[in-house]
Each structure stands twice: as structure tokens, then as C-alpha cells.
Amino acid sequence: MSEREDKKKWTKLITGPAGMRILLILGFLGMFFLLVSSFFPQGQTEEANTNTEQQEEDLWEEYASQTEEKIRRILSSVTAEDDLQVLVTLSGTSADIYATEESADTQTSQGGSGTVEERSQTRSEYVILRSSNGSEQALKLKTLSPEICGVVVVSRFADDPVLREAMVRVVTTSLQISSTRVCVVARGDEE
């Protein structure tokens, strides 16, 4: 058979009723596979997100613990007490800040009565980096850590106004927070 006859057979098969059936069957198979694949969980992605969230939570708990220990050591050197307690509370989670590019478009048009109308529109888009393997990722500028909500200090010297003020100053200066976020309380009666 010649090449021309082969083309005629394929054209006749595809354009004929059998070709339409084949195309319909292939279309239904494709839709079936798409539908079936949507029922399977995306386990690896969900597990990766869960692991990342857990790692981030552990990181911030460690950050709070380290901050508590540093403040406790500093305050212990001020008050000379060994059983001083410090609690640092954090708000929220970390936040990522990404680089953006802004562009402005200005359109000028002439109105019916000879007036000039000007419209401007500003667009903001993330800066995208493309790696050599073709993957794309937004350019991260920095990660903001959770904000320190408050600090509680439990000390047996909290009733002394001079020491109380010194403890508040130590905490506010070292953590760069306002004094309204620091609570210094006396230790309960020990029997």
C-alpha cells in the first residue's frame, strides 16, 4: 500500500462512525481517570504541610522557652533569688514577607463636553524566581516572628517598689515591649 492509501484509510476511520466512537470512548476514559484521581488523597502534600506546621510550632515554643530562660537569668541577677519564674506568651504564628513589584497604568479620555477624564490603576505582583529545573518560587524577603504578647514574672520581691520597677525595666528593655505587657506578681505564701 502506498502512503496516500494509508492516509485515506486513517482519514476514513477517524471521520467515520467508528472514529467518532473511538474519540468518545477516549474522552470518557480521560474524564473517568480525572474523576477517580480526585478521590485519592494528596497524602504527601498534606503530610508535608502538617510536618512544616508542627516544626514551626516547635520552633516558636523553643523560642519562647529560650526567651523565658534568658529573662529569668537576668532577673535572678537583679533580685538574687533562685526560684524566680518567668512566662512569655506569643501571639499568632510567623508571617512571611515577599517582594512585590508595583505598576501603574494611567488612561486619559476626552468626555463628550470637552472634559478630560483620567483614570489610574495600580497593580501589585509578587517577584517570582525561576530555578534551573523550571520550578518557580516567590522571593521571600523575611520571616516575621510571632509578637510577644506579654511576660509574667513571679518573684518574692514583687512587693518592693524599687525591685518591681527594676524588673519591669529589665523586661521591657530586653524584649522591646511596653510596660503594659509586663506583669510582676508576688509569690504566694509559702508554709
- Mind listing the pLDDT tens digit for each residue in 51-84? 666 777 778 888 889 999 999 999 999 999 988 9
Q: Which residues pair with 185 in a beta bridge?
A: 154
Find the angle CA(91)-CA(94)-CA(98) to the nearest 5 degrees: 140
Confidence band, pLDDT 50/70/90 cuts, at residue 4: confident
Per-residue confidence band for 154, with pLDDT thresholds at 50, 70 and 90: very high
Q: Write down the mean pLDDT value for the chain.
A: 81
Look at residue 30 and tell me whether its pLDDT is greater than 90.
no
**Those residues with Cβ within 8 angstroms of residue 76's Cβ, 6 or more apart along the chain or in another chain:** 82, 84
Which residues, listed in sequence order, are joined to residue 110 by a DSSP beta bridge?
116
What pLDDT shows up at residue 100? Answer: 82
- Going by pLDDT thresholds of 50, 70 and 90, the confidence category of residue 41 is low
- pLDDT at position 52, please? 67
Stretch 2-6: mean pLDDT? 73
**Cβ atoms 127, 101 nearer than 8 A:** yes
Cell numbers placing 6: 494509508
Element (DSSP H or E) covering residue 141: strand 140-144
Task: Report how far Cα 119 is from the mean position of its chain's Cα atoms.
Answer: 34
